[in-house]
């Protein structure tokens, strides 16, 4: 390996030592690839937006479907009460 007595090392020895150190470091630390980095960034952005109270597209769509369902129920209920009121009026008339 490297001789400790000499002050001057060849470029090949230095490069080899650096490569070995990098490979050892990589064995201890898992470096994410480009796709993982993008996913992690997106996850961080989404979590920050959630903390700020910003809804995602899926949440907005879910809310829209709930509103449509409630509108349908309200319309149905209003028709029933209108029909009951009409029956009451015909009975009393």
* pLDDT, tens digit, 9 for 90 and up, residues 3-38: 554 556 788 888 999 999 988 887 788 777 888 889
Contact 13, 2 (CB under 8 A): yes
Residue 45 predicted with pLDDT over 60: yes
What was the pLDDT predicted at 85? 76
Contact 32, 40 (CB under 8 A): yes
């Amino acid at each position: 390996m490297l001789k400790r007595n000499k002050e001057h090392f060849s470029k090949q020895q230095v490069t080899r030592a650096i490569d070995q150190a990098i490979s050892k470091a990589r064995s201890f630390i898992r470096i994410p690839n480009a796709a993982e980095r993008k996913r992690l960034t997106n996850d961080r952005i989404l979590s920050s937006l959630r903390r700020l109270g910003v809804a995602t597209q899926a949440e907005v769509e879910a809310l829209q479907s709930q509103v449509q369902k409630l509108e349908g129920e309200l319309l149905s209920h209003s028709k029933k009460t209108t029909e009951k009121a009409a029956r009451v009026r015909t009975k009393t008339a």
